[in-house]
Protein backbone atom coordinates (compact mmCIF):
# COMPACT_ATOMS: atom_id res chain seq x y z
CA UNK A 1 0.00 0.00 0.00
CA UNK A 2 1.37 3.41 -0.94
CA UNK A 3 0.13 6.87 -0.15
CA UNK A 4 1.78 8.27 -3.25
CA UNK A 5 -0.28 8.70 -6.37
CA UNK A 6 2.03 7.07 -8.88
CA UNK A 7 1.65 7.33 -12.65
CA UNK A 8 -0.38 4.14 -12.59
CA UNK A 9 -2.67 3.08 -9.76
CA UNK A 10 -2.30 -0.54 -10.95
CA UNK A 11 1.46 -0.94 -11.29
CA UNK A 12 3.66 -0.45 -8.28
CA UNK A 13 7.01 0.89 -9.55
CA UNK A 14 10.23 -0.83 -8.52
CA UNK A 15 12.08 1.06 -5.83
CA UNK A 16 15.41 2.53 -6.96
CA UNK A 17 17.96 2.58 -4.15
CA UNK A 18 21.28 3.40 -5.80
CA UNK A 19 22.75 4.53 -9.09
CA UNK A 20 26.17 4.95 -10.59
CA UNK A 21 27.25 5.69 -14.15
CA UNK A 22 24.85 3.90 -16.49
CA UNK A 23 23.38 1.64 -13.83
CA UNK A 24 20.36 1.98 -11.54
CA UNK A 25 19.93 -0.64 -8.78
CA UNK A 26 16.59 -1.54 -7.25
CA UNK A 27 15.71 -2.61 -3.70
CA UNK A 28 15.91 -6.27 -4.71
CA UNK A 29 19.48 -5.83 -5.86
CA UNK A 30 18.72 -5.94 -9.58
CA UNK A 31 20.72 -3.70 -11.93
CA UNK A 32 19.32 -1.90 -14.96
CA UNK A 33 21.30 -0.24 -17.76
CA UNK A 34 19.84 3.23 -18.20
CA UNK A 35 19.71 3.35 -21.98
CA UNK A 36 17.24 6.22 -22.12
CA UNK A 37 18.45 8.57 -19.38
CA UNK A 38 14.99 8.16 -17.82
CA UNK A 39 13.32 10.38 -20.39
CA UNK A 40 16.46 11.68 -22.10
CA UNK A 41 17.41 13.40 -18.85
CA UNK A 42 20.50 11.73 -17.37
CA UNK A 43 23.09 12.99 -19.84
CA UNK A 44 26.05 12.48 -17.47
CA UNK A 45 24.87 9.22 -16.03
CA UNK A 46 24.26 8.80 -12.33
CA UNK A 47 26.30 9.79 -9.29
CA UNK A 48 28.84 12.00 -11.09
CA UNK A 49 31.27 13.13 -8.35
CA UNK A 50 31.83 16.62 -9.79
CA UNK A 51 28.12 17.40 -9.82
CA UNK A 52 27.65 16.02 -6.32
CA UNK A 53 30.57 18.16 -5.09
CA UNK A 54 29.02 21.25 -6.70
CA UNK A 55 25.70 20.50 -4.98
CA UNK A 56 27.41 20.14 -1.60
CA UNK A 57 29.26 23.42 -2.09
CA UNK A 58 26.07 25.22 -3.10
CA UNK A 59 24.12 23.83 -0.13
CA UNK A 60 26.92 24.96 2.18
CA UNK A 61 26.71 28.54 0.88
CA UNK A 62 23.04 29.19 0.07
CA UNK A 63 20.36 26.66 -0.83
CA UNK A 64 17.51 29.04 -1.66
CA UNK A 65 16.82 32.74 -2.09
CA UNK A 66 13.57 34.05 -3.54
CA UNK A 67 14.13 35.90 -6.81
CA UNK A 68 11.80 38.68 -5.64
CA UNK A 69 14.60 39.61 -3.23
CA UNK A 70 17.91 38.28 -4.52
CA UNK A 71 19.83 36.86 -7.39
CA UNK A 72 22.66 34.37 -6.78
CA UNK A 73 26.08 33.69 -8.20
CA UNK A 74 24.99 30.25 -9.46
CA UNK A 75 21.98 31.60 -11.35
CA UNK A 76 23.96 34.49 -12.86
CA UNK A 77 26.78 32.22 -13.99
CA UNK A 78 24.34 29.76 -15.55
CA UNK A 79 22.56 32.58 -17.39
CA UNK A 80 25.90 33.84 -18.74
CA UNK A 81 26.91 30.37 -19.84
CA UNK A 82 23.60 29.61 -21.57
CA UNK A 83 23.72 32.87 -23.51
CA UNK A 84 27.41 32.52 -24.41
CA UNK A 85 26.69 29.11 -25.95
CA UNK A 86 23.31 30.00 -27.48
CA UNK A 87 22.38 30.35 -31.14
CA UNK A 88 22.83 33.77 -32.72
CA UNK A 89 20.45 36.48 -31.53
CA UNK A 90 19.73 34.93 -28.14
CA UNK A 91 20.58 37.46 -25.46
CA UNK A 92 18.95 36.32 -22.24
CA UNK A 93 17.95 33.25 -20.26
CA UNK A 94 14.98 32.74 -17.94
CA UNK A 95 15.42 29.92 -15.42
CA UNK A 96 12.54 27.67 -14.38
CA UNK A 97 12.13 24.20 -12.89
CA UNK A 98 11.44 22.00 -15.90
CA UNK A 99 10.30 21.61 -19.48
CA UNK A 100 6.59 22.34 -19.13
CA UNK A 101 7.31 25.49 -17.13
CA UNK A 102 9.75 26.56 -19.83
CA UNK A 103 7.12 26.10 -22.54
CA UNK A 104 4.53 28.04 -20.52
CA UNK A 105 6.99 30.88 -19.99
CA UNK A 106 7.95 30.90 -23.68
CA UNK A 107 4.29 31.19 -24.72
CA UNK A 108 3.79 34.06 -22.27
CA UNK A 109 6.97 35.81 -23.39
CA UNK A 110 5.70 35.56 -26.95
CA UNK A 111 2.36 37.05 -25.99
CA UNK A 112 3.92 39.80 -23.91
CA UNK A 113 6.24 40.66 -26.81
CA UNK A 114 3.16 41.17 -28.98
CA UNK A 115 1.27 43.25 -26.44
CA UNK A 116 4.29 45.43 -25.61
CA UNK A 117 4.43 46.24 -29.33
CA UNK A 118 0.72 47.03 -29.49
CA UNK A 119 -0.06 43.88 -31.49
CA UNK A 120 -2.94 42.84 -29.26
CA UNK A 121 -4.52 40.82 -32.04
CA UNK A 122 -1.71 38.25 -32.13
CA UNK A 123 -3.08 35.31 -30.20
CA UNK A 124 -3.04 32.12 -32.30
CA UNK A 125 -0.46 29.47 -31.51
CA UNK A 126 0.34 26.97 -34.25
CA UNK A 127 2.09 23.70 -33.46
CA UNK A 128 2.42 20.26 -35.06
CA UNK A 129 0.57 17.00 -34.72
CA UNK A 130 2.84 14.34 -33.20
CA UNK A 131 4.54 16.70 -30.81
CA UNK A 132 4.82 16.88 -27.06
CA UNK A 133 5.45 20.13 -25.24
CA UNK A 134 4.57 19.23 -21.66
CA UNK A 135 1.66 18.43 -19.42
CA UNK A 136 0.63 21.80 -17.95
CA UNK A 137 -2.41 23.29 -19.64
CA UNK A 138 -0.66 25.73 -21.99
CA UNK A 139 2.00 23.22 -22.98
CA UNK A 140 -0.59 20.46 -23.36
CA UNK A 141 -2.65 22.73 -25.61
CA UNK A 142 0.39 23.28 -27.81
CA UNK A 143 1.23 19.56 -27.97
CA UNK A 144 -0.36 17.38 -30.59
CA UNK A 145 -0.70 14.07 -28.78
CA UNK A 146 -4.45 13.43 -28.71
CA UNK A 147 -4.13 10.60 -26.22
CA UNK A 148 -2.72 13.04 -23.67
CA UNK A 149 -5.06 15.89 -24.61
CA UNK A 150 -8.45 14.25 -25.11
CA UNK A 151 -10.05 14.41 -21.66
CA UNK A 152 -8.58 17.83 -20.88
CA UNK A 153 -9.61 19.46 -24.16
CA UNK A 154 -12.34 21.60 -22.54
CA UNK A 155 -9.65 23.22 -20.39
CA UNK A 156 -7.17 23.90 -23.19
CA UNK A 157 -6.58 27.16 -25.03
CA UNK A 158 -7.30 26.98 -28.73
CA UNK A 159 -4.27 25.94 -30.79
CA UNK A 160 -3.86 24.92 -34.40
CA UNK A 161 -1.95 21.90 -35.58
CA UNK A 162 -0.23 21.23 -38.86
CA UNK A 163 1.52 18.08 -40.09
CA UNK A 164 4.96 17.36 -38.69
CA UNK A 165 7.99 16.83 -40.91
CA UNK A 166 8.03 13.03 -40.63
CA UNK A 167 9.67 11.41 -43.63
CA UNK A 168 8.93 7.76 -42.79
CA UNK A 169 5.21 8.42 -42.44
CA UNK A 170 4.51 11.42 -44.66
CA UNK A 171 7.07 11.69 -47.47
CA UNK A 172 5.55 10.43 -50.71
CA UNK A 173 7.22 7.84 -52.84
CA UNK A 174 9.41 9.52 -55.46
CA UNK A 175 9.12 12.87 -53.63
CA UNK A 176 12.59 14.41 -53.17
CA UNK A 177 13.69 15.63 -49.74
CA UNK A 178 13.60 19.20 -51.03
CA UNK A 179 10.05 18.84 -52.33
CA UNK A 180 8.88 17.15 -49.17
CA UNK A 181 10.49 19.82 -46.95
CA UNK A 182 8.78 22.51 -49.05
CA UNK A 183 5.40 20.75 -48.85
CA UNK A 184 5.61 20.18 -45.08
CA UNK A 185 6.75 23.76 -44.36
CA UNK A 186 4.12 25.05 -46.79
CA UNK A 187 1.47 23.82 -44.34
CA UNK A 188 2.58 26.56 -41.96
CA UNK A 189 2.19 29.23 -44.63
CA UNK A 190 -1.30 27.93 -45.45
CA UNK A 191 -2.35 27.86 -41.81
CA UNK A 192 -1.04 31.39 -41.15
CA UNK A 193 -2.95 32.71 -44.16
CA UNK A 194 -6.12 30.87 -43.11
CA UNK A 195 -5.99 32.39 -39.60
CA UNK A 196 -4.90 35.82 -40.82
CA UNK A 197 -1.20 36.63 -40.45
CA UNK A 198 -1.75 39.54 -38.07
CA UNK A 199 -3.59 37.22 -35.63
CA UNK A 200 -0.82 34.62 -35.36
CA UNK A 201 1.48 34.82 -32.36
CA UNK A 202 3.88 31.91 -32.60
CA UNK A 203 4.79 28.60 -34.15
CA UNK A 204 6.12 25.93 -31.76
CA UNK A 205 8.10 22.87 -32.86
CA UNK A 206 10.64 20.34 -31.62
CA UNK A 207 13.60 20.34 -34.04
CA UNK A 208 13.92 16.56 -33.55
CA UNK A 209 10.59 15.18 -32.33
CA UNK A 210 11.01 13.20 -29.13
CA UNK A 211 8.46 11.39 -27.04
CA UNK A 212 5.44 11.43 -29.34
CA UNK A 213 7.01 10.12 -32.52
CA UNK A 214 10.45 8.81 -31.51
CA UNK A 215 13.55 10.79 -32.54
CA UNK A 216 12.19 12.11 -35.81
CA UNK A 217 14.67 14.47 -37.48
CA UNK A 218 13.58 17.08 -40.03
CA UNK A 219 14.29 16.71 -43.73
CA UNK A 220 16.33 19.00 -45.98
CA UNK A 221 15.81 22.71 -45.46
CA UNK A 222 12.47 22.32 -43.66
CA UNK A 223 13.45 24.55 -40.73
CA UNK A 224 15.10 27.18 -42.94
CA UNK A 225 11.78 27.45 -44.73
CA UNK A 226 9.88 27.59 -41.44
CA UNK A 227 12.17 30.40 -40.25
CA UNK A 228 11.58 32.34 -43.45
CA UNK A 229 7.78 31.91 -43.26
CA UNK A 230 7.70 33.04 -39.62
CA UNK A 231 9.82 36.10 -40.41
CA UNK A 232 7.70 37.07 -43.38
CA UNK A 233 4.53 37.08 -41.26
CA UNK A 234 5.96 38.47 -38.01
CA UNK A 235 5.28 35.14 -36.28
CA UNK A 236 7.65 34.13 -33.45
CA UNK A 237 9.47 30.82 -33.81
CA UNK A 238 9.62 28.86 -30.55
CA UNK A 239 11.86 25.81 -30.72
CA UNK A 240 11.23 23.27 -27.99
CA UNK A 241 14.56 21.58 -27.31
CA UNK A 242 13.54 20.23 -23.92
CA UNK A 243 14.22 16.67 -25.06
CA UNK A 244 16.46 16.96 -28.13
CA UNK A 245 18.64 19.80 -26.87
CA UNK A 246 21.66 20.31 -24.60
CA UNK A 247 23.92 18.03 -26.60
CA UNK A 248 21.64 15.05 -27.13
CA UNK A 249 21.89 15.16 -30.94
CA UNK A 250 25.64 15.82 -31.05
CA UNK A 251 25.59 19.62 -31.08
CA UNK A 252 24.72 21.64 -28.00
CA UNK A 253 21.47 22.75 -29.63
CA UNK A 254 19.66 20.64 -32.21
CA UNK A 255 18.79 23.75 -34.25
CA UNK A 256 22.50 24.34 -34.97
CA UNK A 257 22.27 21.46 -37.43
CA UNK A 258 19.38 23.24 -39.18
CA UNK A 259 21.34 26.48 -39.57
CA UNK A 260 18.67 28.61 -37.93
CA UNK A 261 18.10 30.54 -34.71
CA UNK A 262 14.77 30.69 -32.94
CA UNK A 263 13.17 33.72 -31.28
CA UNK A 264 12.58 31.64 -28.17
CA UNK A 265 13.98 28.27 -27.21
CA UNK A 266 13.15 25.96 -24.33
CA UNK A 267 15.66 23.60 -22.74
CA UNK A 268 15.41 21.36 -19.67
CA UNK A 269 16.13 17.62 -19.16
CA UNK A 270 19.84 17.47 -20.17
CA UNK A 271 20.44 20.96 -18.77
CA UNK A 272 20.62 19.63 -15.23
CA UNK A 273 21.03 15.98 -16.18
CA UNK A 274 18.50 14.97 -13.53
CA UNK A 275 20.64 16.14 -10.61
CA UNK A 276 18.10 18.89 -9.97
CA UNK A 277 14.83 19.89 -11.66
CA UNK A 278 15.67 22.78 -13.98
CA UNK A 279 14.67 24.26 -17.31
CA UNK A 280 15.23 27.52 -19.15
CA UNK A 281 13.84 29.73 -21.84
CA UNK A 282 16.42 31.35 -24.07
CA UNK A 283 15.07 34.53 -25.59
CA UNK A 284 16.22 36.75 -28.38
CA UNK A 285 17.36 40.33 -27.82
CA UNK A 286 14.28 41.65 -29.63
CA UNK A 287 11.95 40.04 -27.11
CA UNK A 288 14.00 41.25 -24.18
CA UNK A 289 14.18 44.75 -25.68
CA UNK A 290 10.42 44.95 -26.23
CA UNK A 291 9.78 44.14 -22.56
CA UNK A 292 12.66 46.22 -21.30
CA UNK A 293 11.68 49.34 -23.23
CA UNK A 294 7.99 48.67 -22.51
CA UNK A 295 6.63 47.68 -19.12
CA UNK A 296 10.04 46.50 -17.89
CA UNK A 297 8.45 43.57 -16.14
CA UNK A 298 7.84 40.03 -17.37
CA UNK A 299 4.44 39.23 -15.98
CA UNK A 300 5.14 35.69 -14.93
CA UNK A 301 7.19 33.92 -12.28
CA UNK A 302 7.48 30.84 -10.10
CA UNK A 303 8.61 30.42 -6.50
CA UNK A 304 11.53 28.21 -7.53
CA UNK A 305 12.72 30.06 -10.63
CA UNK A 306 16.47 30.61 -10.64
CA UNK A 307 16.88 28.10 -7.82
CA UNK A 308 20.56 28.18 -6.76
CA UNK A 309 20.83 24.42 -6.13
CA UNK A 310 19.37 23.71 -9.56
CA UNK A 311 21.57 26.33 -11.22
CA UNK A 312 24.68 24.94 -9.49
CA UNK A 313 23.84 21.42 -10.67
CA UNK A 314 23.26 22.57 -14.24
CA UNK A 315 26.49 24.56 -14.27
CA UNK A 316 28.44 21.55 -13.05
CA UNK A 317 26.80 19.25 -15.61
CA UNK A 318 27.51 21.64 -18.46
CA UNK A 319 31.10 22.23 -17.29
CA UNK A 320 31.82 18.48 -17.23
CA UNK A 321 30.31 18.03 -20.70
CA UNK A 322 32.57 20.77 -22.09
CA UNK A 323 35.69 19.75 -20.12
CA UNK A 324 35.45 16.08 -21.12
CA UNK A 325 34.44 16.89 -24.72
CA UNK A 326 31.41 14.67 -24.33
CA UNK A 327 29.66 16.02 -27.41
CA UNK A 328 32.37 14.33 -29.48
CA UNK A 329 31.47 11.11 -27.69
CA UNK A 330 27.77 11.72 -28.44
CA UNK A 331 28.59 11.92 -32.13
CA UNK A 332 30.92 8.91 -32.13
CA UNK A 333 28.77 6.69 -29.94
CA UNK A 334 25.64 7.90 -31.73
CA UNK A 335 27.08 6.59 -35.00
CA UNK A 336 27.99 3.30 -33.30
CA UNK A 337 24.50 3.00 -31.81
CA UNK A 338 22.93 3.57 -35.21
CA UNK A 339 25.21 0.96 -36.75
CA UNK A 340 24.35 -1.60 -34.08
CA UNK A 341 20.62 -0.87 -34.35
CA UNK A 342 20.83 -1.28 -38.11
CA UNK A 343 22.65 -4.59 -37.64
CA UNK A 344 20.07 -5.89 -35.17
CA UNK A 345 16.87 -4.49 -36.67
CA UNK A 346 17.67 -3.46 -40.28
CA UNK A 347 15.85 -6.45 -41.71
CA UNK A 348 13.56 -7.21 -38.78
CA UNK A 349 10.04 -7.93 -40.07
CA UNK A 350 8.47 -5.69 -37.41
CA UNK A 351 10.85 -2.73 -37.41
CA UNK A 352 9.82 -0.24 -40.07
CA UNK A 353 12.26 2.58 -39.41
CA UNK A 354 15.49 3.32 -37.54
CA UNK A 355 16.11 7.02 -37.11
CA UNK A 356 17.51 9.79 -34.96
CA UNK A 357 20.53 11.96 -34.39
CA UNK A 358 23.46 11.52 -32.03
CA UNK A 359 22.53 9.61 -28.88
CA UNK A 360 18.84 10.11 -29.65
CA UNK A 361 17.79 7.11 -31.73
CA UNK A 362 14.58 5.15 -32.14
CA UNK A 363 13.12 2.14 -33.83
CA UNK A 364 9.52 2.19 -35.04
CA UNK A 365 7.55 -1.02 -34.70
CA UNK A 366 5.12 -2.01 -37.45
CA UNK A 367 2.79 -4.95 -37.91
CA UNK A 368 3.73 -4.99 -41.58
CA UNK A 369 6.87 -3.45 -43.11
CA UNK A 370 5.39 -3.17 -46.57
CA UNK A 371 2.24 -1.25 -45.67
CA UNK A 372 3.81 0.37 -42.55
CA UNK A 373 0.63 -0.58 -40.70
CA UNK A 374 1.03 -0.09 -36.95
CA UNK A 375 0.20 -2.77 -34.41
CA UNK A 376 -3.30 -2.75 -32.95
CA UNK A 377 -3.11 -0.23 -30.06
CA UNK A 378 -5.03 -2.69 -27.87
CA UNK A 379 -1.94 -4.92 -27.92
CA UNK A 380 0.04 -2.19 -26.10
CA UNK A 381 3.24 -3.41 -27.68
CA UNK A 382 5.27 -0.44 -26.40
CA UNK A 383 4.28 -1.23 -22.82
CA UNK A 384 5.18 -4.89 -23.27
CA UNK A 385 8.59 -3.99 -24.70
CA UNK A 386 9.25 -1.73 -21.72
CA UNK A 387 8.26 -4.43 -19.22
CA UNK A 388 10.28 -7.17 -20.90
CA UNK A 389 13.29 -4.88 -21.30
CA UNK A 390 13.21 -4.23 -17.55
CA UNK A 391 13.27 -8.00 -17.01
CA UNK A 392 16.35 -8.04 -19.24
CA UNK A 393 17.93 -5.34 -17.05
CA UNK A 394 17.45 -2.56 -19.59
CA UNK A 395 15.68 0.79 -19.38
CA UNK A 396 14.33 2.03 -22.72
CA UNK A 397 11.64 4.61 -23.49
CA UNK A 398 8.90 3.05 -25.60
CA UNK A 399 5.81 5.02 -26.55
CA UNK A 400 2.67 4.54 -28.52
CA UNK A 401 2.60 7.57 -30.79
CA UNK A 402 -0.22 8.86 -32.94
CA UNK A 403 0.03 8.10 -36.63
CA UNK A 404 -2.80 9.60 -38.64
CA UNK A 405 -5.17 9.01 -35.79
CA UNK A 406 -3.97 5.44 -35.21
CA UNK A 407 -1.51 4.62 -32.48
CA UNK A 408 1.90 3.29 -33.45
CA UNK A 409 4.75 2.05 -31.29
CA UNK A 410 8.35 3.14 -31.14
CA UNK A 411 11.26 2.61 -28.76
CA UNK A 412 13.48 5.57 -27.96
CA UNK A 413 17.08 5.24 -26.83
CA UNK A 414 18.89 8.16 -25.21
CA UNK A 415 21.82 6.83 -23.19
CA UNK A 416 24.08 9.11 -21.12
CA UNK A 417 26.85 10.92 -23.02
CA UNK A 418 29.48 8.90 -21.12
CA UNK A 419 28.33 5.66 -22.78
CA UNK A 420 31.06 3.42 -24.26
CA UNK A 421 31.06 1.00 -27.20
CA UNK A 422 30.72 -2.09 -25.02
CA UNK A 423 27.71 -0.52 -23.22
CA UNK A 424 26.04 0.14 -26.55
CA UNK A 425 26.66 -3.41 -27.70
CA UNK A 426 25.08 -4.69 -24.50
CA UNK A 427 22.12 -2.29 -24.82
CA UNK A 428 21.33 -3.40 -28.38
CA UNK A 429 21.69 -7.11 -27.52
CA UNK A 430 19.25 -6.75 -24.63
CA UNK A 431 16.85 -4.65 -26.68
CA UNK A 432 16.84 -7.23 -29.49
CA UNK A 433 15.97 -9.95 -26.97
CA UNK A 434 13.28 -7.78 -25.37
CA UNK A 435 11.65 -6.89 -28.70
CA UNK A 436 11.50 -10.50 -29.80
CA UNK A 437 10.14 -11.66 -26.45
CA UNK A 438 7.49 -8.89 -26.48
CA UNK A 439 6.22 -9.59 -30.00
N1 LIG B 1 8.86 19.58 -24.27
C2 LIG B 1 9.36 18.42 -24.75
C3 LIG B 1 9.85 18.37 -26.17
C4 LIG B 1 9.42 17.29 -23.94
O5 LIG B 1 9.88 16.13 -24.43
C6 LIG B 1 8.95 17.39 -22.60
C7 LIG B 1 8.99 16.22 -21.71
O8 LIG B 1 9.13 15.10 -22.13
C9 LIG B 1 8.45 18.61 -22.15
C10 LIG B 1 8.43 19.69 -23.01
C11 LIG B 1 7.95 18.75 -20.75
O12 LIG B 1 9.01 18.72 -19.85
P13 LIG B 1 8.77 18.36 -18.30
O14 LIG B 1 8.33 16.95 -18.26
O15 LIG B 1 10.12 18.63 -17.69
O16 LIG B 1 7.75 19.30 -17.78
Which uninterrupted H or E stretch holds 428? helix 421-438
60-64, 363-367, 398-402, range with the lowest pLDDT: 398-402
Residues 6+ apart with CB under 8 A from 38: 274, 395
pLDDT band at 377 (very low <50, low <70, confident <90, very high): confident
**Angstrom distance (rounded) from CA 380 to CA 400:** 8
CA–centroid distance, residue 132 to ligand 1 (Å): 7
CA–centroid distance, residue 392 to ligand 1 (Å): 27
pLDDT at 314 over 80: yes
What pLDDT does 364 receive? 96
**Angstrom distance (rounded) from CA 23 to CA 33:** 5
Strands of 360-365's sheet in order across:
351-357, 360-365, 406-413, 397-403
What pLDDT does 287 receive? 98
Residue 98 alpha carbon, nearest atom of ligand 1: 15
What pLDDT does 400 receive? 86
pLDDT tens digits for range 202-215: 999 999 999 889 99
pLDDT at 406 over 70: no
CA–centroid distance, residue 229 to ligand 1 (Å): 26
CA quadruple 392, 383, 336, 373: dihedral sign = positive
Q: Where in the chain is the domain with CATH 3.90.1150.10?
A: 16-48+325-438
Q: From the CB of 39, is ligand 1 less than 6 Å away? A: yes
Ligand 1: residue of 133, 215, 217 to mutate (most ligand atoms within 8 A of CB) is 133
CA–centroid distance, residue 153 to ligand 1 (Å): 19
pLDDT at 11 over 90: no
Q: From the CB of 240, is ligand 1 less than 6 Å away? A: yes
Residue 206 alpha carbon, nearest atom of ligand 1: 3
Q: Where are the beta strands (DSSP E) in 207-263?
A: 236-240
Nearest CA to ligand 1 atom 1: 133
Q: What percent of the chain has pLDDT over 70?
A: 98
pLDDT at 127 over 70: yes
Nearest CA to ligand 1 atom 7: 134
How many angstroms separate the Cα of 346 from the Cα of each of 186, 369, 424, 428? 32, 11, 16, 12
- β-pairing, 397-403 vs 406-413, is antiparallel
pLDDT band at 146 (very low <50, low <70, confident <90, very high): confident
**Angstrom distance (rounded) from CA 307 to CA 64:** 6
Q: From the CB of 412, is ligand 1 less than 6 Å away? A: no
79-88, 146-155, 332-341, range with the lowest pLDDT: 146-155
Q: From the CB of 99, is ligand 1 less than 6 Å away? A: yes
Q: What is the mean pLDDT of residues 350-369?
A: 97
CA–centroid distance, residue 24 to ligand 1 (Å): 22
What pLDDT does 195 receive? 98
CA–centroid distance, residue 369 to ligand 1 (Å): 30
Q: ipTM score here?
A: 0.99
Q: Where in the chain is the domain with CATH 3.40.640.10?
A: 52-323
CA–centroid distance, residue 243 to ligand 1 (Å): 6
CA–centroid distance, residue 149 to ligand 1 (Å): 14
Q: What is the mean pLDDT of residues 23-41?
A: 98
Q: From the CB of 211, is ligand 1 less than 6 Å away? A: yes
Nearest CA to ligand 1 atom 12: 99
**Helix 177-195 / helix 222-233 crossing angle, nearest 10 deg:** 20
> Which residue did the predictor score with more confidence, 408 or 304?
304
pLDDT band at 164 (very low <50, low <70, confident <90, very high): very high
Nearest CA to ligand 1 atom 13: 99
Q: Which of 218, 213, 243 is nearest to 407 (CA)?
A: 213
What pLDDT does 404 receive? 61
Q: From the CB of 104, is ligand 1 less than 6 Å away? A: no
For the chain, the average pLDDT equals: 96
CA–centroid distance, residue 211 to ligand 1 (Å): 8
* Matching CATH number, 16-48+325-438, of 3.30.70.1380, 3.90.1150.10, 3.90.1720.10, 3.30.70.1060: 3.90.1150.10
What pLDDT does 378 receive? 86
What pLDDT does 403 receive? 63
* Matching CATH number, 52-323, of 3.90.79.10, 3.40.50.620, 3.40.605.10, 3.40.640.10: 3.40.640.10
pLDDT at 435 over 90: yes
Q: State the Cα angle at 192 between 289 and 280, rounded to 5°.
A: 40
pLDDT at 151 over 70: yes
pLDDT band at 148 (very low <50, low <70, confident <90, very high): confident
What pLDDT does 145 receive? 85
Q: What is the mean pLDDT of residues 129-140?
A: 95
> Which residue did the predictor score with more confidence, 401 or 391?
391
Amino acid sequence: MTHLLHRSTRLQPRRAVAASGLTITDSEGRDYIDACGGAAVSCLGHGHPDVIAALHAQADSIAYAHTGFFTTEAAERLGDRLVADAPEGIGHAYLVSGGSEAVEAALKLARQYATERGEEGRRHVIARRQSYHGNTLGALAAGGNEWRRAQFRPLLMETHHIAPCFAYREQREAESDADYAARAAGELETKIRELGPESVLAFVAEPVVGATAGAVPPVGDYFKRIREICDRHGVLLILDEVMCGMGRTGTLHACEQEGISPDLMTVAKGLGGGYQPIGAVLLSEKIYDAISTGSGFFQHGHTYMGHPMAAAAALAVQEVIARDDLLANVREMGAHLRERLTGAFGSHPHVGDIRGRGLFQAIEMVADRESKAPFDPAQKLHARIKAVAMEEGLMVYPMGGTIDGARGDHVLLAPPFIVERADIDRIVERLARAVDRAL
